[in-house]
Structure 1
Amino acid sequence: MMKVAFALTVSLVAVTAYYFYIPLPSTISEPWKLMLLDGIFRGIVHVGKLAHWLGICHFIQVLDYTVTLDTLGPVTNDNLRVTDTAVGGVNVRLYEWTGGAEGELKRGVVFFHGGGWALGSAKKGSYDVLCRKMAEDLKAVILSVEYRLAPVVRFPDQYEDAVRASKHFLQPEVLARFSVDPERVAVSGDSAGGNLAAAVAQQVAMDSSVTVKFKVQSLIYPALQTLDFNTPSYQQNQNVPILYRVLMVRFWLEYLNADLSLIDPLLINNHTALDQSAVDPHRPKVDWASLLPAEFREGYEPVLQALGTSRPVEEIPGLLDVRAAPLLAERDVLSRTPRAFILTCEHDVLRDDGLMYGSRLEEAGVDVTIDHHGDGFHGCLTFAFWPTHFKVGKRTLANYISWLDQTCSLFLGLFLSSDHE
């Protein structure tokens, strides 16, 4: 009996190890912890696919249910007030630092959570913890936008929610109500939220009806383009957790309300083959051979098909829509956007999206800070909290908040100096 139990135990351990073990780059942060986290996530994905196949619910809804765990609700304490409300008809969670003197003006940050435009919540999980920390560390008001998600809504609804909430918050009378300094307002987000933050920064910069503009944009491993799913980072990290290349393409197709059968043509860049003239005006904007620093290009060649299919571009207009793909913006638009902080991770399919955007912003005359982490992976900043506690998560979080702190203080100093003169 003991032998049978021992054999079963060994078999179970072997099967578990086989399931959880995946080869990872030696430079990635805490690989065994990431393997465990990824194994859990892959299990959730498998359950979601099964539920979808059985017709129980949509694949995305299973993922969203399991990755957003309830944390703290609205609360008021000595230094922080958290309330759920709506601005511009969009649900938000508002985090207000209350520790300052009466009438003291505070920083403001409009924040968009990640999750492939389909997962996550401003009110749950690590995003709630993140925004509480931002409000307290920055002594700020954080407007975390609960934009609607796929598959219930698709592009451009998420984008429009983001724009409406931002424009409403930027109204002088609204900023005054929350004691927010109009000279120190930022827009920020991670992953899909970084996509929305970049797109909103462009829209606000160009909208003459908005008198108060964002002073900084802080983008955390943003998803910014759909024309090349074979950039060096997509090639290098296609099988690296947490964001696999095929999953990122699926998120794009879900967001843009496209037929999922188009995944395969997109994965091999058939939609941007050289015979697809509709793409020609945008090719220089995603030309990583010229936009990426040399160290990120070495060893990789562009994937350019001679002949492709026009079906994706014809059926998915969002592929070429700058509101969905901010990297496709014209230079004049980029030049009007605010100073930027772009956080990128080496082991992330979206690394090159952020780096290319930084290059294009700099070419347009925008001040850009690139914060690159050689041991980082997609999503690591939100793994700075319990129960994950990745070292790279804590470091990226510290850098992110420090940059916002220093840059917003700099703007206040410049504003006061200008006003004094």
Structure 2
Amino acid sequence: MLMKLDYTLPISDENVTVMDITFSDIPVRLYLPKRKSASQRPAVIFVHGGAFVLGSCKLAALDLLNRQTAKNLGAVVVGVEYFRCRLLLFSLPVASDTVATPWTAAFQAFLSFTNFCYRLGHQYQFPVAHEDVVSVVKFFLQDKILAKYGVDPARVCISGDSAGGLIAAAVAQLIQNDPEFKNKLKAQALIYPSLQVIDIAIPSQRENEHGLILSKKLGIELACLYLTQDKALPQAMMKNQHMPHGSRHLFKLVNWSIFLPEKYKKNHVYTEPILGRLNPSYSALLDSRLSPLAVNDSQLQNLPLTYILTCQYDLIRDDGLMYVSRLQNVGVKVSHDHMEDGIHGALSFMASPINLQLGIRIKDKYINWLEENL
């Protein structure tokens, strides 16, 4: 099979001690470097992707990513398992509109496999995954916990890929703007992040509607499971008619015709999402935790040093590109890597037996940035 489906065990090696424990009752996989350090260590809190309903830090590729991060940086790495949002069996949609390739065959096999592994109950929908990650971060940033693991409070980064990047971005906004958190983040690192659910007709959504790995239809249907099992929502999102009345003020914050670099606008014509067509409407669609791109400049100004990686052939490429522009506009220091040959989810294919070189390059760019900046 093209995709490695099995979870890895918490096996330690000569460089890193690995253990599965809980922080504030939320499962985490903890990576502790064995190399002695004369000073306090940096730390990385990693939030995995998977459209809020799939995925795990225990999958081989992300275990490799976090293990190598701990080794190269001499950093404590916390992989968050926000399990409560995906515990019961649900029917995953089939992407009939996706162009058939070996990659899509592998992804569909993975989705079939997860039909037997995950369940989704109404009580585990939005904002449960976000709250789980906040609980872990709040627990870890306590002085006594940082001291226990020898972590420097001034050298903590939150990171994530895809939907995990969305959660990481939302949590970073909360931490940096909430006086309750005494210890702030030094950095955030977002790998092909999804950052908004307001406008589903941005250029990257149009150009990559029939993606090699993830089609627009499948991506929307998976993400909507985090909100509801009502099929009316994904149908409305496909037409960009899902936003409720009273949300027009958010459009200017995700307007790609303003924030997207010229080279990515091409000949696309901007049109606003259509309001009020969905009944019942979903007020959660106005929540900034689902659209960290759609917050005012005042909420972005306090954000830490930021790394964003985007991929050319990715449905949500333009979310990341717009976030780069918006952060730079308010004076946040941003490093941006764009993979011209990139596809969404490439990290998931970098482990054996596939060893996708694109995924390995993304891993190396991410870790190199952390080494230089954390």
TM range (shorter): 0.7 to 0.9
Output the CA distance in 1 between the equivalents of 2:191 and 2:362. 9
Q: Which amino acid aligns with 1:403?
A: W
Deviation at 1:338, TM superposition (A): 0.7
Deviation at 1:258, TM superposition (A): 4.9
Are the aligned partners of 1:106 and 1:180 in contact in 2 as well (CA < 8 Å)?
yes
Indicate the residue corresponding to 2:342 in structure 1.
376
Are the aligned partners of 1:258 and 1:315 in contact in 2 as well (CA < 8 Å)?
no
Deviations 1:162-192 (A, max 9, x none): 0010011011111110011112110000001
1:98 and 2:34 matched: yes
Distance 1:287-1:278 versus aligned 2 partners, 3 A rule: same
Deviation at 1:206, TM superposition (A): 1.5
Match of 2:320 among 354, 364, 378: 354
Indicate the residue corresponding to 2:6 in structure 1.
69
Distance 1:394-1:77 versus aligned 2 partners, 3 A rule: closer
More deviation, 315-324/110-119: 315-324
1:405 and 2:371 matched: yes
Indicate the residue corresponding to 1:126 in structure 2.
61
SS in 2 for 1:107: strand
More deviation, 369-378/276-285: 276-285
Output the CA distance in 2 between the equivalents of 1:344 and 1:222. 8
1:309 and 2:309 matched: no
Output the CA distance in 2 between the equivalents of 1:380 and 1:76. 25
1:88 and 2:48 matched: no
Deviation at 1:104, TM superposition (A): 3.5
Output the CA distance in 2 between the equivalents of 1:77 and 1:387. 20
Output the CA distance in 2 between the equivalents of 1:265 and 1:115. 22
Deviation at 1:68, TM superposition (A): 4.1
Indicate the residue corresponding to 2:254 in structure 1.
286
More deviation, 147-156/236-245: 147-156
Are the aligned partners of 1:108 and 1:140 in contact in 2 as well (CA < 8 Å)?
yes
Output the CA distance in 2 between the equivalents of 1:241 and 1:159. 28
Alignment of 1:249-288 (within 5 A): 249-272=220-243, 277-288=245-256
Q: Which amino acid aligns with 2:145?
A: V
Output the CA distance in 1 between the equivalents of 2:286 and 2:229. 14
Output the CA distance in 1 between the equivalents of 2:153 and 2:60. 30
Q: Which amino acid aligns with 2:262?
A: A
Output the CA distance in 2 between the equivalents of 1:321 and 1:68. 33
Deviations 1:50-84 (A, max 9, x none): xxxxxxxxxxxxxxxxx74122x223343211111
SS in 1 for 2:366: helix
The runs of 5 or more residues in structure 1 that have no matched partner are 1-35, 41-66, 409-421
Indicate the residue corresponding to 1:331 in structure 2.
297
Indicate the residue corresponding to 2:202 in structure 1.
231
SS in 2 for 1:271: coil
Deviation at 1:277, TM superposition (A): 4.4
Output the CA distance in 2 between the equivalents of 1:140 and 1:334. 27
More helix by share: 1
Match of 1:242 among 213, 217, 224: 213
Match of 2:14 among 78, 83, 88: 78
Indicate the residue corresponding to 2:100 in structure 1.
none
Indicate the residue corresponding to 1:147 in structure 2.
82
Are the aligned partners of 2:194 and 2:320 in contact in 1 as well (CA < 8 Å)?
yes
Output the CA distance in 2 between the equivalents of 1:228 and 1:356. 12
Deviations 1:304-359 (A, max 9, x none): 46x653426x5322211001211112211111111110100000001001111111
Match of 1:345 among 311, 330, 333: 311
User: Which is bigger in relative contact order (C-alpha 8 A, separation at least 6)?
Assistant: 2
Match of 2:356 among 382, 390, 393: 390
Output the CA distance in 2 between the equivalents of 1:91 and 1:172. 20
Match of 1:220 among 191, 195, 198: 191
Deviation at 1:253, TM superposition (A): 1.0
Are the aligned partners of 2:60 and 2:351 in contact in 1 as well (CA < 8 Å)?
no
TM-score by length of structure 2 reads 0.86
Deviations 1:271-324 (A, max 9, x none): 35xxx641211011110001000000012112446x653426x53222110012
SS in 1 for 2:172: helix
Output the CA distance in 2 between the equivalents of 1:260 and 1:139. 46
Output the CA distance in 1 between the equivalents of 2:68 and 2:30. 13
Output the CA distance in 2 between the equivalents of 1:271 and 1:302. 17
Output the CA distance in 2 between the equivalents of 1:391 and 1:299. 32
Output the CA distance in 1 between the equivalents of 2:229 and 2:194. 17
Q: How many residues align?
A: 338
Indicate the residue corresponding to 1:320 in structure 2.
286
Sequence identity (%): 37
The runs of 5 or more residues in structure 2 that have no matched partner are 87-119
TM-score by length of structure 1 reads 0.77
Distance 1:130-1:271 versus aligned 2 partners, 3 A rule: same
Indicate the residue corresponding to 2:50 in structure 1.
115
Output the CA distance in 2 between the equivalents of 1:227 and 1:248. 14
